[in-house]
Structure 1
Amino acid sequence: MLIINLKSNGLLKFIKNLYKQMQYHEVQALGAQVTFYLILSFFPFLMFLITLISYTPLTSQSTLESLLSFLPNDAYVFVLDIVQQIVEEKSSTLLSVGMISTLFVASNGVAALIRGINKSYELTEKRPFWKKRGLAILFTIALSIVILFSLILLVFGEILTGFLTNYFNLPSSFNILWFLIRYISSLFIMWLVFVCLYRYTPVVRPDIKNVLLGATFTTIGWFLTSYGFSTYVNHFGHYSSTYGSIGGVIVLLIWLYISSIIILTGAEVNGLIIKKNNKNNI
């Protein structure tokens, strides 16, 4: 069984061991490597996602605004401008053979995360290239579909709220309740994605009970740090006035780096739990 001592001494020891393991695995340096691959795959991933969205009732403009709303304003403007230019100039290519190459490039970010998870679990990658790349592509497609359904839930959930409120003459408190349900559902879907990522991508598949805490940490940590960083940049960190036109690039890189560290830290949490349970079973 998964046993974690939540007393002060046990929790403090767990945090100390987590810090030591992160230092040993060089999580900060590994996060920088993952960020490099993520920045290369960020726009191809958005292109692939927009291509999928084109087959749904969602419009690219409204979807992009919802999808990128968690980004700081500088990064949001930078990303939105580039994506719109690419969509306008190469929409015909994206719907043909270019979509396959876009998917392949977009999977680089997931492939880098898989390498980081294997390192956190202290596993040596021995799988052939086609299997590793196929798994990365599969998770890229799955992630795109999950994001798509989350957006549909958020967008059409708002439409459904207005319809139900007007048709049944519901009180305004229903809007608040439905708002919470929609966003909690989105967070739950995100949590499921991290559970699958931590369990099914490593060389050796851990028990699902060993990845639940790491997935929970990553979901909550990513949401809080993204919101906090966005608030800081929008109100205090004036990167555009300091760095000019490249301010958006710098903000995007910092946000991707923070996200990489959070995801890898969640993997390190799982790695500690796996190591603890292996010792207990000996």
Structure 2
Amino acid sequence: MWDNTLPKNRFLRFCVLMVHRCGRHNVATQSAALAFYLLFMIFPFLIFISALLGLLNLNITGMMTVLSDFLPEEVVDLLRMYFTYVTDNPSPQLMVFGLVFSIYFPMRATNSLMAAVRIAYHLGPPKGFITQWIKVLLYTVTLIVTIALTLSLMTFGERALWYTVEHFHLPEFLAKLWVTLRFPVAGAVSFLALFLLYALAQDTIQPLKNICPGVLFSLAAWMAFSWLYSYYANHFSHYSVLYGSIGAVIVVLIWLNLSAFTLILGAEMNGVLISMRKDRLEQGVNIPKT
């Protein structure tokens, strides 16, 4: 029903509804739970990715340079430490160990995020337990493969292209084009990954207008929050002074919580937009004809 107590302006109405829904759906609590699973996911996943980079003998300098643009220095230093150590000590056994736990903990994180998405869309618990876990497993494996391929392309792709330019006469402009477009490609891959998660959380196939706005908003908000928090952590905060050696862990925890919040916020945004569209339709139907 159209609530006359809400602002008439559509943007203000949207903002008020977002605040109400986030409070009613306990988004802060859901974000904390998702951040908890992400924390347990990140270290075995780092072991797997860094072991993969070590086995492929890939250079991590370019990737760390890109990450330092929008992540706090403490987070980048932590990533660099893991990547450098395992890259210098490649081990297939370590990669297998990381892969096993990189499937279990991401499955828990994926299931937590899907549950939050279903709450945002006002859906009940999944009807089939087995079907739900199959969805979670398939998405988790797909996500791991996608991230591994994306990181490989970002670190190895440029060298491979210039090698083909020199030895196989690939047009040089194609190599330059890939160097320019590889990061937008990574952004497109991230969009598709989050879009797939939002879609798999549904019981039926949703139109694009019910999924795409929230996905775009989540990715944009994540990049904005990450950059702002990175700037704050690097220039104004003194975590290392206050917390000593665990300062980097505190930074990681806060960043994970912000990341989880933005991922859930996109689903809540879609829910608000769907609700507002229904209200406009009902208002149009209820207008008396003259």
Once the two structures are TM-superposed, the CA of residue 251 in structure 1 deviates from its matched residue by: 0.3
Instruction: Pick closer, same or farther for the CA change 1:28–1:39 going to 2, 3 Å.
Output: same
Partner of 1:23 in structure 2? 23
Partner of 1:5 in structure 2? none
- SS at the partner of 2:9? helix
Partner of 1:139 in structure 2? 139
Are 2:72 and 2:231, in contact at CA under 8 Å, matched by a contact in 1?
A: yes
2:105 is aligned with 1:121: no
Partners of 1:208 and 1:123 in 2: CA distance: 18
Partner of 1:231 in structure 2? 231
Partners of 1:91 and 1:46 in 2: CA distance: 14
Q: What is the TM-score when the length of structure 2 is the normalising length?
A: 0.77
Are 2:222 and 2:259, in contact at CA under 8 Å, matched by a contact in 1?
A: yes
Once the two structures are TM-superposed, the CA of residue 214 in structure 1 deviates from its matched residue by: 0.3
Once the two structures are TM-superposed, the CA of residue 75 in structure 1 deviates from its matched residue by: 2.2
Partners of 1:184 and 1:98 in 2: CA distance: 28
Partner of 2:46 in structure 1? 46
Are 2:37 and 2:106, in contact at CA under 8 Å, matched by a contact in 1?
A: no
* Pairs within 5 Å for 1:92-171: 92-96=92-96, 99-156=99-156, 158-159=158-159, 160=161
Amino acid at match of 1:59: L
> May I ask how many residue pairs the two structures share in their alignment?
269
> What per-residue deviation string (whole Å, max 9, x for no partner) do you get for residues 250-282 of structure 1?
000000000111111100011123334455389
Partner of 2:4 in structure 1? none
Are 2:217 and 2:266, in contact at CA under 8 Å, matched by a contact in 1?
A: yes
Amino acid at match of 1:268: E
Amino acid at match of 2:37: Y
What RMSD, in angstroms, separates the aligned Cα atoms of the two structures? 3.5
Partners of 1:86 and 1:128 in 2: CA distance: 40
Partner of 2:34 in structure 1? 34
Partners of 2:260 and 2:208 in 1: CA distance: 22
Instruction: Pick closer, same or farther for the CA change 1:252–1:116 going to 2, 3 Å.
Output: same
Partners of 2:107 and 2:59 in 1: CA distance: 21
> What per-residue deviation string (whole Å, max 9, x for no partner) do you get for residues 33-83 of structure 1?
11111111121233343455566x452755873685443111222344356
Partners of 1:114 and 1:51 in 2: CA distance: 29
Are 1:198 and 1:211, in contact at CA under 8 Å, matched by a contact in 2?
A: yes
Partner of 1:65 in structure 2? 64
Amino acid at match of 2:212: L
Q: What is the TM-score when the length of structure 1 is the normalising length?
A: 0.79
Instruction: Pick closer, same or farther for the CA change 1:206–1:90 going to 2, 3 Å.
Output: same
Once the two structures are TM-superposed, the CA of residue 179 in structure 1 deviates from its matched residue by: 5.5
Tell which structure's C-alpha radius of gyration is larger: 2
Are 2:18 and 2:272, in contact at CA under 8 Å, matched by a contact in 1?
A: yes
Partner of 1:243 in structure 2? 243
The sequence identity of aligned pairs, in percent, is 28
Partners of 2:226 and 2:255 in 1: CA distance: 7
Partners of 2:57 and 2:89 in 1: CA distance: 20
Partners of 1:52 and 1:151 in 2: CA distance: 10
Partner of 2:200 in structure 1? 200
Are 2:58 and 2:156, in contact at CA under 8 Å, matched by a contact in 1?
A: no
Unaligned runs of 5+ in 1: 1-7
Once the two structures are TM-superposed, the CA of residue 246 in structure 1 deviates from its matched residue by: 0.7
Are 1:67 and 1:151, in contact at CA under 8 Å, matched by a contact in 2?
A: no
Amino acid at match of 1:65: M
Partners of 1:157 and 1:61 in 2: CA distance: 12
Partner of 2:187 in structure 1? 187
Farther off after superposition, 85-94 or 40-49: 85-94
